[in-house]
Amino acid sequence: MSRVIPVELAERSYRVLVGDGVRHELAEIIAASVSGARRAAVVTQERIGVTVDPGLDHEVFTVPDGESAKSLAVVEELCRGFARGGLSRADVVVAVGGGVVTDLAGFAAASFHRGTAYVNVATSLLGQVDAAVGGKTGVNIPEGKNLVGAFWQPSAVLCDTGVLATLPPREWASGRGEVAKYALLGIATAHGGPPTPDLPIDEQVARCVAIKSAVVASDEREGDRRMLLNYGHTLAHALEASAFDDPEADLRHGEAVAVGLVFAALLAQRLGRIDEAQVTHHRQVVGQFDLATSLPAGSDPEQLLAFMGRDKKAQGDLTFVLDGPHGVEVVRGIDRADVVATLADMESMAS
């Protein structure tokens, strides 16, 4: 039986369905949530291997595998394909895949006809617990990750936990990094407390979705509180951006988040916000999800600093989400020297 978690955003409200086999409810969900749609554009990647029936005439658009698909060039290709296929503003885009596909297809939907409805069918753990929910869509440019995008809420999200059984280990790791983030945020909802690795996967996903839904409902466009969902992401995005042009780099998003979570704890300790026991707690939570916490070999502190300075939270300064006496919060104006010293601490711990 599926769990239904609402995302309460007034006229933009929608439901997230979590459970084994919920992708088979897609046609019914589209009929109920996208009034008047006659055609669908299904966006996916070849490696996904999950087929869906939107219950409408539809065309399948296959985008390249990997993070490289998240580019303005691919958005243009999709939108031109939508136009050639006769997709109208009243129709619907269906994203079938992980975070790359939902970010990309969501941005294409937000751009096409200045806003076309879309539904996410999340097939990865990362997509289900984070990327597919909340309406943050976007693509990468060489200067940084997710720097071009739009807030465009989906009409519905289907998190089919049954398809997770086929995920390779590295994809599981990528999702677990985000689950660890939710565990460390310490936010409880009506659907339960923070996720823990001993819970059934349906319950882990549902708790993560409930936490994100509650935060998004309180701050849809990331004015303040929603930035908490970027815990661990300032360094994580910098690590990912620094790997864009490195063919030898092999770092998944959740793996980078795990490193970023420990970095954030060490930085908070350096600033006197938390003690050693809380840093140990961060390491233990990340470790429970079988994630490594060392900086990738060859990381360039100066390059990482440049990317962190371009982070979406920053306003001409270095901004981080950090733990502290009042819990996790946004902290602005971090001294560059403290960031460099914390990166050095991480390097020394790994050597």
Residue 145 phi/psi, 5-degree rounding, is -90, 135
How far, in Å, CA of 246 to CA of 100, rounded? 19
How far, in Å, CA of 264 to CA of 238, rounded? 13
Q: Which domains does the chain have, with CATH numbers?
A: 3-218 (3.40.50.1970), 231-350 (1.20.1090.10)
Q: Which letter, b or e, does each residue of 104-130 get, where b requires 16 or more Cβ atoms within 10 Å of its Cβ?
A: bbbbbbbbbeeebbbbbbbbbbbbbbb
- Per DSSP, the three-state class of 53 is coil
- The first and second tokens of residue 28, run together, are 């019914």
Q: How far is CA 289 from CA 197, 227, 285, in A?
A: 6, 23, 7
pLDDT at 247: 60
Residues paired with 329 in a beta bridge:
322
- If we measure between CA atoms, which residue out of 48, 65, 291, 67 comes closest to residue 166? 48
Residue 216 phi/psi, 5-degree rounding, is -65, -40
pLDDT along the chain (351 residues), means of 10: 92 97 97 96 96 97 94 98 97 97 98 98 97 96 92 98 93 94 94 94 97 96 91 95 74 94 98 98 96 89 90 78 96 95 87 55
pLDDT at 312: 66
The tens digit of pLDDT for each residue in 208-222 reads 999 999 999 999 998
Cβ(233)–Cβ(255) under 8 Å?
no
Specify the DSSP element, H or E, that contains 320.
strand 320-322
How far, in Å, CA of 241 to CA of 307, rounded? 7
Tell me which amino acid residue 34 is.
Answer: V
pLDDT at 248: 66
Residue in the structure block whose two tokens are 């409805």: 117
pLDDT at 245: 65
Cβ(336)–Cβ(305) under 8 Å?
yes
pLDDT at 11: 93
Residue 62 phi/psi, 5-degree rounding, is -100, 120
pLDDT at 244: 75
How far, in Å, CA of 187 to CA of 207, rounded? 10
How far, in Å, CA of 15 to CA of 264, rounded? 32
The tens digit of pLDDT for each residue in 26-51 reads 999 999 999 999 999 999 999 999 99
DSSP readout, 127-176? Answer: IIIIITSSSEEEEEETTEEEEEEEE---SEEEEEGGGGGG--HHHHHHHH
pLDDT at 74: 98
pLDDT at 314: 66
